Structure 1
Amino acid sequence: MTANRIHRAVVYAALTVLSLLFSLPFLFMIGTSFKSYDDIVASPLNPIPLRPTLSNFTLLFEKIPFWTQFFNGVFIAVSVSILAMVCNALVAYGFSRYEFKGKQALFTVVIATILIPSQMTLVPSFIMFKQWGWLDTFMPLILPGAVSAMNIFLCRQVMTAIPKELYESARVDGSSEWGTFLRIAVPLSMSGIGIVGLLNFMNAWNDYLSPLIFLVSEHKMTLSVGISTMNNPYKEDYATPITGAFLMAVPVLVLLSVVGRKYFISGVAAGAVKG
């Protein structure tokens, strides 16, 4: 018993040290957000602001249309998250529920698309969206995230673990296929569907390349691009971009704290279920 306690104490101590090490950059970012330029230059490695100030936040709001870009990012991330949960769950339900000719071959082709880097489709996507008149709109940022092979795989793995007897019981009770999907498949697969929503929200929220390429107007830009525009080659400014990065990290931290604990661990573990 004593040996077990010592082992657990060592493990917890090691995890605590690792957690602190991974938290240092974030703590440094928070502290720098409340530092003046002189304090940053004088003690750049000190994460504690000796003379806290809110001037960085004021300057940030003056340099870029912060709240417009913030809510643009929220709208895009939420839209991508909802669309991804709905579309991927429907596709995964078809692969887990039905048996049809060529099912395994089709699923293999879907999974094989994971090997294609997104950069390879960037130029064709730009040409296609330009012909459709979608440039400088949110459509190129939302619709491509509707379906992805990894999200389909994760949802399918969870739905495959649902006993087929539950589906059969629902059909015997007179439930339609849509009713079976909504009342059986979705509630019992929320661990996988929830993690798909979380991951897609974070990917869309942190995306820099797509808004930079497909958006032109400043009032349509997302915060990830807006923060990068504050870099001035003729004047050093460390505090304002770091302050913007700190504010940009807040929604993700809130989301993970509120709903992430419910879905994140169980959703990631669901991917290990044998299909």
Structure 2
Amino acid sequence: MTAMPDAASPASPVAPGKTPATAVRARRDRHLIRKAATYIVMTVAALLVLVPFAWMISSSLKRNNEVFTVPIQWIPDEFRWSNFVEIWDRIPMVTYLRNSAFLAITITFLQVLTGSFAAYGFSKVRFPGRDALFVAYIATIAVPWQAYMVPQYIMMQEAGLTNTFWSIILLQAFGAFGVFLMRQYYMSIPDELVEAARIDGLSEYSIYLRIMLPLSKPALASLALLTFVNTWNDYMGPFIYLTSNELWTVQLGLRSFIGQYSADYAMIMTGAVISVLPIVVIFLLGQRYFIRGIATTGLKG
């Protein structure tokens, strides 16, 4: 027979001089300390990231001779809100913002559409050479843009699309990264769900529209946000293909403004704040879906 443990012996080893309740409290205190330390580190890191943005906002509300004062004066003596009115008279900011918004919205819509549709084929439709084709397509991400920049421009020039929005839209409407992101998310959706829909008589297009898209809102939001930010901040693409001032984006407009008023630092910061605000608003509205989409993408390879 197995000897029964002594009833007087403790259930778990406890350090000499400590009761089980004391040990539990010690573990809880250590957990709280680690959690507090983590929050402190993350808060400090977030503040460091926000310092340049705070300086930009502060500088946009100052006079030119107050921007580079040492030490930095974070709160101006006089808030010059007139800077945000005057800049609209200096440059056609409305035109620049409208052009950037048009390109960003159009390219975002097309990339989400083409990326999600191609990802459905690579993840849920079986055909010979599917995986090899996917690997070859994703490998194009490793090719630097400078390697095919000149051939792209020659193609657009021969097609007569330079100095038009079509050159930017056609070149950026498809992206290997979007296909990769959406495929990884689709791989986390059970194949049995798609097979059941096929048995019920749904076509591949219906499965994509009625099942895959509603289930992939977080990934779609992530791809949309990343594409919108990348297109809005793009400088080289519009710089190469758009020569008319009425077609310039906000990035080209601000660069031209800096060239003309290189010493007007406060106004430059004002334009930078205006150009960043749409990105901030878009991120705040979609951050919940963005975080969820990034966190769940790639759970299944």
Cα separation, 2, equivalents of 1:239 and 1:176: 58
Cα separation, 2, equivalents of 1:234 and 1:205: 23
Q: Deviations over 1:113-145 (max 9, x none)?
A: 011011221111111111111111111222222
Q: How does 1:237-248 map to 2 (within 5 A)?
A: 237-248=264-275
Secondary structure of 1:147's counterpart equals coil
Cα separation, 2, equivalents of 1:77 and 1:242: 22
**Change in CA separation of 1:189 and 1:125 when aligned onto 2, cut-off 3 Å:** same
Give the CA deviation at 1:146: 1.9
User: Does the aligned pair in 2 maintain the 1:28–1:46 contact within 8 Å?
Assistant: no
Residue 88 (1) aligns with residue 115 (2): yes
Q: TM-score normalized by structure 2?
A: 0.87
Secondary structure of 1:231's counterpart equals helix
Q: Which residue of 2 aligns with 1:265?
A: 291
Structure 2, unaligned runs of 5 or more: 1-27
Letter in 2 for 1:268: I
State, as a whole percentage, how many aligned pairs show the same letter.
38
Q: Which residue of 1 aligns with 2:164?
A: 137
Give the CA deviation at 1:64: 1.3
Residue 185 (1) aligns with residue 216 (2): no
Q: How does 1:1-275 map to 2 (within 5 A)?
A: 1-43=28-70, 45-232=72-259, 236-259=263-286, 261-275=287-301
Secondary structure of 1:169's counterpart equals helix
Provide the alpha-carbon RMSD of the alignment.
Answer: 1.6
Q: Deviations over 1:57-92 (max 9, x none)?
A: 233212211011101100100111100000001100
Moved more, 4-13 or 52-61: 52-61
User: Does the aligned pair in 2 maintain the 1:56–1:243 contact within 8 Å?
Assistant: yes
**Change in CA separation of 1:36 and 1:49 when aligned onto 2, cut-off 3 Å:** same
Give the CA deviation at 1:42: 4.0
Structure whose alpha-carbon radius of gyration is higher: 2
Secondary structure of 1:134's counterpart equals coil
Cα separation, 2, equivalents of 1:234 and 1:192: 42
**Change in CA separation of 1:87 and 1:234 when aligned onto 2, cut-off 3 Å:** closer
Q: Deviations over 1:154-176 (max 9, x none)?
A: 10011112112211222233322
**Change in CA separation of 1:161 and 1:54 when aligned onto 2, cut-off 3 Å:** same
**Change in CA separation of 1:235 and 1:138 when aligned onto 2, cut-off 3 Å:** closer
Q: Which runs of 4+ in 1 moved over 6 A?
A: none
Q: TM-score normalized by structure 1?
A: 0.94
Letter in 2 for 1:5: L
User: Does the aligned pair in 2 maintain the 1:88–1:146 contact within 8 Å?
Assistant: no
